[in-house]
């Protein structure tokens, strides 16, 4: 049995979490919060279970949640959506991505993503039988940035979909207005559909803000926007996600989604609806506390000897591990696999987010990703252990 990309391995996140557990390492590998989201939101789900929300919800999701998602997009970004036809609730962003890609791309089509890319993006492109074309995000003094020449070279007549993730996992890049403009222009030029993965939309720092691609000229009619409650409310296990966009595209996504999960998360849907409507202060608090934890980890990694890229958003810091590499541990993948036993810390190699053997994989071979969505004590322990490494 093999995955569509030919691998038989568990995901890099599962592999690193298993190693972290085996060596009782501080797990800065897999990106999930070690503190659950707000109690008042969790209580709403308990009440919903007691109140009888235990059977299949409608395939599109309950209307109060679709209405709350539409209202969120309107109040935050000025995007107008009809909750009846232009919003679909999914089993996390993961299902929204899978259903969108399977609905819109197939053999003979090219799907363009940034590289590094989130692992499920590549797996879904492979499942769809489409060809994966990548545009590198390269490390610069100003963070990991899009190469406009590479974008121009990647997008062409066979491009069916451009799949964009901003704020970006793993690099933490928040795409700039200029980068977004280039992507939008390229999409319009070849008449491609754009799917945007915006699960970290509210987790941006230093005054940076997230702009949905759907708000750019010519984009509303060709963009599917995906997000999820997992990151915004620290409820990753609830798997409530959504996709919004033009009714015809949403219909195509539903055609696939109905045979993936049909529907799910009955008691969580009303809770997330209320969270989206009333939880703004909780989101602000999470963002501020994440910014502090990012600073703590960035400073600690630098003191320990890493070269660090300061992320504008997400849960993640990328670090160049070159000073720690040896002939037995020649790259970030070997370093990440050895680190739980060696130092009691887990991270993830950036090569796991690259196409095997690609130029980007080679360029980023010494890089690893650490998450800072952990409590400060865990981050301090991790930093102390890394300090002792050299």
Query: Does 30 participate in binding ligand PMP (rule CB under 6 A)?
Result: no
Could you say which of ligand GLN, ligand PMP, none residue 30 binds, taking C-beta under 5 to 8 angstroms by partner kind? ligand GLN
| Nearest by Cα to 86 from 108, 76, 71, 106 | 71
13 binding partner (options ligand PMP, ligand GLN, none; Cβ < 5 to 8 Å by kind): ligand GLN
Which of ligand PMP, ligand GLN, none sits in contact with 269, Cβ below 5 to 8 A by type?
none
Q: Degrees (nearest 5) of the Cα angle 81, 54, 35?
A: 75
Cα separation, 321 vs 331, in Å, equals 8
CB of 12 to ligand PMP, least distance (A): 12
Region 189-228 residues binding ligand PMP, contact defined as CB under 6 A: 197, 199, 228
Q: Which of 15, 20, 27, 30 binds ligand GLN (CB under 6 A)?
A: 30
Residues within window 117-176 making contact with ligand GLN, judged by CB under 6 A? 169
86 versus 198: smaller Cβ distance to ligand GLN = 198
Residue with Cβ nearer ligand PMP (159 or 228): 228
Long-range contacts of 141-148 (CB under 8 A, 24+ apart): 143/171, 143/172, 143/173, 143/309, 143/310, 143/311, 143/312, 144/168, 144/171, 144/172, 144/173, 144/309, 144/318, 145/173, 145/176, 145/179, 146/114, 146/175, 146/179, 146/182, 146/183, 148/182
DSSP calls for 171-228: T-----HHHHHHHHHHHHHHT-EEEEE-TTTT-B-TT-----GGGSTTTGGGEEEEEE
Minimum CB–partner distance for residue 17 and ligand PMP (Å):
13
Nearest distance in Å: CB 2, ligand PMP = 22
Specify whether the CB–CB gap between 234 and 248 falls below 8 A.
Answer: no
Distance CA 294, CA 254 (A): 38
- String of contacts with ligand GLN for each residue 250-289, x by CB under 6 A: ----------------------------------------
Nearer to ligand PMP, 261 or 378 (CB): 261
18 binds ligand GLN (CB under 6 A): no
Q: Interface with ligand GLN includes 23 (CB under 6 A)?
A: no
According to DSSP, residue 151 is labeled: H
* Among the residue ranges 235-243, 270-278, 296-304, 365-373, the one whose residues contact ligand PMP (CB under 6 A): 235-243
Q: Which of 17, 100, 134, 169 binds ligand PMP (CB under 6 A)?
A: 169
| Binding partner at 11 among ligand PMP, ligand GLN, none, C-beta below 5 to 8 Å by kind | ligand GLN
> By CB under 6 A, which span of 91-99, 155-163, 210-218, 336-344 interacts with ligand PMP?
91-99
Asked whether position 117 contacts ligand PMP by CB under 6 A, the answer is no
Compute φ and ψ for 164, nearest 5 degrees.
-115, 140
DSSP assignment of 221-255, as one string? GGEEEEEEHHHHTT-GGG-EEEEE--HHHHHHHHH
CB-wise, 265 or 344, nearer to ligand PMP? 265
Angstrom distance (rounded) from CA 366 to CA 370: 13
267 binds, among ligand PMP, ligand GLN, none (CB under 5 to 8 A by kind): none
As measured in angstroms, the least distance from the Cβ of 365 to ligand PMP is: 22
Closest CA to 101 of 130, 134, 81: 130
Which is closer to ligand PMP, CB of 96 or CB of 151? 96
Q: What is the layout of strands, in order, in the sheet containing 316-320? A: 307-309, 316-320, 367-371, 348-349
| Interaction between residue 116 and ligand PMP (CB under 6 A) | no
Please state, in angstroms and rounded to a whole number, the distance separating the CA atoms of residues 127 and 117.
Answer: 16
Contacts of 115 (CB under 8 A, 6+ apart): 134, 135, 136, 137, 353, 354, 355, 358, 360
Applying CB under 6 A, the residues found at the interface with ligand GLN are: 11, 13, 30-31, 169
Applying CB under 6 A, the residues found at the interface with ligand PMP are: 31, 92-94, 118, 165, 169, 197, 199, 228, 230, 236, 239, 241
């Amino acid at each position: 049995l093999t995955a569509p990309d030919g691998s038989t391995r568990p995901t890099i996140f599962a592999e690193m979490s298993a190693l972290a557990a085996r060596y009782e390492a501080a797990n800065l590998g897999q990106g999930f919060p070690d503190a659950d989201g707000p109690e008042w939101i969790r209580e709403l789900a308990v009440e919903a279970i007691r109140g009888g929300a235990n059977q299949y919800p409608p395939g599109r999701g309950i209307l109060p949640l679709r209405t709350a998602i539409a209202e969120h997009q309107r109040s935050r970004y000025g995007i107008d959506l009809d909750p009846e036809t232009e919003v679909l609730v999914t089993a996390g962003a993961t299902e929204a991505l899978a259903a969108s890609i399977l609905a819109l791309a197939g053999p003979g089509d090219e799907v363009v993503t940034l590289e590094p890319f989130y692992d499920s993006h590549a797996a879904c492109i492979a499942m769809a039988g489409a060809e994966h074309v990548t545009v590198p995000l390269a490390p610069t003094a100003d963070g990991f940035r899009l190469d406009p020449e590479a974008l121009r070279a990647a997008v062409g007549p066979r491009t069916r979909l451009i799949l964009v993730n901003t704020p970006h996992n793993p690099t933490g890049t928040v795409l700039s207005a200029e980068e977004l403009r280039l992507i939008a222009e390229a999409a319009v030029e070849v008449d491609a559909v754009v799917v945007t993965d915006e699960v970290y939309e509210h987790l941006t720092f230093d005054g940076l803000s997230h702009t949905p691609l759907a708000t750019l000229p010519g984009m509303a009619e060709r963009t599917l926007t995906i997000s999820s409650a997992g990151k915004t409310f620290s409820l990753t296990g609830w798997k409530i996600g959504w996709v919004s966009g033009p009714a015809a595209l949403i219909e195509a996504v539903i055609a696939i989604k109905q045979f993936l999960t049909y529907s799910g998360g009955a008691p969580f849907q009303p809770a997330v609806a209320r969270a989206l409507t009333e939880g703004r202060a909780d989101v602000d608090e999470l963002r501020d506390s994440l910014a502090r934890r990012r600073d703590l980890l960035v400073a600690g990694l630098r003191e320990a000897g890493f070269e660090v890229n300061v992320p504008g958003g997400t849960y993640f810091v990328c670090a160049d591990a070159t000073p720690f590499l040896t002939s037995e541990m020649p790259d970030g993948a070997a370093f990440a696999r050895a680190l739980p036993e060696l130092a009691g810390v887990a991270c993830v190699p950036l090569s796991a987010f690259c196409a095997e053997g690609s130029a980007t994989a080679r360029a980023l071979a010494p890089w690893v990703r650490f998450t800072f969505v952990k409590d400060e004590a865990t981050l301090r322990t991790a930093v102390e252990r890394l300090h002792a490494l050299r």
